[in-house]
Amino acid sequence: MTTDRTLFDYLLRLADSDLILAQRLGEWLGHGPVLEEDIAFANVGLDLLGQARMWFAYASEVETRMNGRGRTEDELALLRDGGDFRNLLLVEQPNGNYADTIARQFYFDVWHELLLTRLERSADARIAEIAAKALKEVTYHVERSTDWIIRLGDGTDVSHARMQAAIDVLWPYTGEMFTADATDRALTGDGVACDSESLLAPWRERVGAVLSEATLTLPSAEWMQRGGKQGVHTEHLGHVLAEMQWLQRAYPGAQW
C-alpha cells in the first residue's frame, strides 16, 4: 500500500536520477567536441534539472505532510549525503569519452520515455501531471541519443569500436532500471508507480533495434549491478556531490 514514506522514497528516486544526470551533462559545458554539442547537452541537462525540481517540489509537500516540515528543493538537492541519494547507478557513471556519455544517455533516455509514458496514467494526479510535462522533453532526448548511437556505431572504425566498448561497459548498470523492491511493489499495487519489470521487454526491443541499425551488438551479460535505488552507490557519486554541493556546504544558505 502507498504510504507517505514510500511515496517520498519513490519521488526521490525520480528526482535524483534526473538531478545527477543533469549535473553530469553540465560537466561537458565548455568541453564538448563542438559548440553545437555543448549547447545541445546543456539543453538536455537543463530539461532534466527542471524535471528534478518538479519531483523535489512534490516530495517536499509529501514530507511536510509526513513530518510537519518538509525540506525545500534546495535542501533536498544540496544538503543530503550520498547514502540518502536514490538515483540509478547508471547516471552517476563518469562522462568518459563522448561514446560513453552517449551510451549512458541512450540507455537512460529509452527507459525514461517508457517510464514516463506509464506514469502519465498514474493514479496519483500530481505524478501523472509531472510525467506528462516531462515526456515532451524526453521524447526529443531519445531521438537525439538514438541519432548519435547510429552515427557513431555505423561511423568510422574508431567510432564504432568506442561506441561498442561504451555500450558493453555500461550494460551492467541497466539492470537496476527493471528490478522492483518493496517501495516499487507498494506503489505499483495502487497504480501510483509502474511495474519496473514490465519495462524490460519494450526497452530491450527498442535498444536492440537501434544497436542493430548502428551495426553494434547488444550485450548478453546477465550479471547486473544494483543498489542505487536503495542508496548504495558506486565511488563516483561522492565526487559528483562534492562538486555539486560544495558551495552550499561551505556557505550555508548562500544565494545570488
Partner 1 sequence: MNRTEWPLWEIFIRSQHGLAHKHVGSLHAPDPEMAVKNARDVYTRRNEGVSIWVIRSADITASSPGEKEPLFEPANSKVYRHPTFFPMPDEVKHI
Binding site for partner 1 (CB under 8 A): 34-36, 39-40, 43, 140, 143-144, 147, 151, 158
Nearer to partner 1, 121 or 151 (CB): 151
H helix runs in 98-199, sequence order: 98-119, 125-153, 157-170, 182-189
The answer to whether residues 176 and 224 touch, using CB atoms and an 8 Å cutoff, is yes
User: CB of 62: closest distance to partner 1 in angstroms?
Assistant: 32
Q: Count CA within 13 A, CB hemisphere, residue 238.
A: 5
User: CB of 82: closest distance to partner 1 in angstroms?
Assistant: 32
Nearer to partner 1, 24 or 233 (CB): 24
Cell of 54: 518538479
User: CB of 167: closest distance to partner 1 in angstroms?
Assistant: 20
Cell of 147: 541519432
Nearer to partner 1, 1 or 34 (CB): 34
The answer for 181, left when phi > 0, alpha when psi is -120 to 50, beta otherwise, is: beta
Nearer to partner 1, 38 or 129 (CB): 38
Rounded distance, CA 69 to CA 156, Å? 56
Cell of 123: 493514479
Alpha-carbon separation of residue 189 from 10, 22, 122, 184, 196 (angstroms): 14, 30, 11, 9, 12
User: CB of 143: closest distance to partner 1 in angstroms?
Assistant: 7
Rounded distance, CA 156 to CA 80, Å? 43
Nearer to partner 1, 138 or 237 (CB): 138
User: CB of 35: closest distance to partner 1 in angstroms?
Assistant: 8
